[in-house]
Amino acid sequence: MGVRGGEAAGVLAAALSASTVGERRMLAEALGAPPLWPAATADALREACRAGLALAAARHWGTHELASYVGRRLGARARRLVADAVAGEPFAVPALDDRCAREGVQPGRMVETALDVLGLLHALPRLAPVAEPPSGRAEGADARMLAKVRALLAKAESTEFPEEAEALSARAQELMARHSIDRALVADTGARGPGAPNGRRVVIDTPYEAPKAVLLTVVAEANRCRTVWHRELGLATVLGYPADLMAVELLFTSLLVQATSAMVNAGTRKDALGRTRTRSFRHAFLNAYAARIGERLREAADEAAGRAASRPDGSDLLPLLAARDIAVDDAVTALFPNLVRGRRGTVSNREGWLAGRAAADAAGLDEHAAVTEPSRGS
């Protein structure tokens, strides 16, 4: 690092530790002006960003949840900056100039955004370690099942007919449940290792985070998983066996698409005085949708388990499923020993509640849809 680079690094360090907004802004302006801008500032930001991302990784933040959290706290410009930093090289000199032009801001303002991001990276809380989702392609029976499920859910999301969406989603849930149970039975015979519960993190976006978290919870429970919601981080951790976690991710994503579409199509609401009631309507809508979906998924899961238990090889299924439930609960306790159960929220819009339950009854869960029947070999 040359003389200018060393000077820029010093100014950047001073800006990060500045005690007043005015001092910080003055230092950001210095970094955004010649002779430090653009080359020396780019070098200093690049090194600081690498250190910040390394710290985030050491605290178990994945790239998707990191970008989401930064956007939640600092806004869209900061989110784009962090997403580009993760993906490649946002602080090359041409890229910096291009970014300022694209964002419509002066260099000093862009430096302030970078300072905000760096400060947040260093203040990130440590997350419980979970495995990254598998990046390889599924093979054999897994690939065929996933292709069927994705096709069913895609149809459920695109159809204009609620009854058809319901049938398609239910079919997808049943397929996933049956696949999970089959894998569990295979693992129990010793043909595959039984594996162990693991975790995935799921982003819970604004608005209406609470009912969205409830929807994730009921989908997880139907698929023999457990959910821990980190409200202040906009994240949830789902724990379970791998095949069940895959089912939760697929079904939650699809049901959220269906719920959002139905909610938006229901339109806006006003009271007798013309005041908007849209927010309370939609909050009640999503809460009711999640509650009713949970009822339907539990019914589908119970039916899938009952059919599997009646098969010639299913005599030991119920003890096996109970043992897996205990293993998942133990994993939750090990990762979150001080867990506190949250209180249920209240709903104040009856119209939204009734509309949400009706939408859930029409949601794509075709009666054979995928409630994961736990697989012994996930």
Give the pLDDT score at 104: 94
Q: Is 133 helix (H, G, I), strand (E, B) or coil?
A: coil
Report the run of H or E that residue 239 belongs to, with start and end: strand 235-240
DSSP 131: P
Q: Is 134 helix (H, G, I), strand (E, B) or coil?
A: coil
Report yes or no on whether pTM surpasses 0.95: no
C-alpha–C-alpha distance, residues 166 and 89, integer Å: 45
Angle 230-236-241 (CA atoms, 0-180°, nearest 5)? Answer: 140
pLDDT along the chain (378 residues), means of 10: 76 95 96 93 92 95 92 94 83 81 94 96 94 56 67 75 72 72 56 69 90 93 93 95 87 85 77 73 87 85 78 74 92 89 61 69 52 40
Contacts of 170 (CB under 8 A, 6+ apart): 296, 300, 364, 365, 366, 367, 368, 369
Q: Is 161 helix (H, G, I), strand (E, B) or coil?
A: coil
Give the pLDDT score at 375: 39
Indicate if the alpha-carbon torsion angle 251, 257, 263, 265 is positive or negative: negative
Q: Where are the alpha helices (DSSP H) in 132-276?
A: 140-158, 162-188, 209-222, 242-265
Contacts of 111 (CB under 8 A, 6+ apart): 15, 28, 29, 31, 32, 41, 45
Strand order in the sheet with 226-230: 198-203, 235-240, 226-230
Residue pair 111/41 in contact (Cβ under 8 Å)? The answer is: yes
Give the pLDDT score at 378: 40
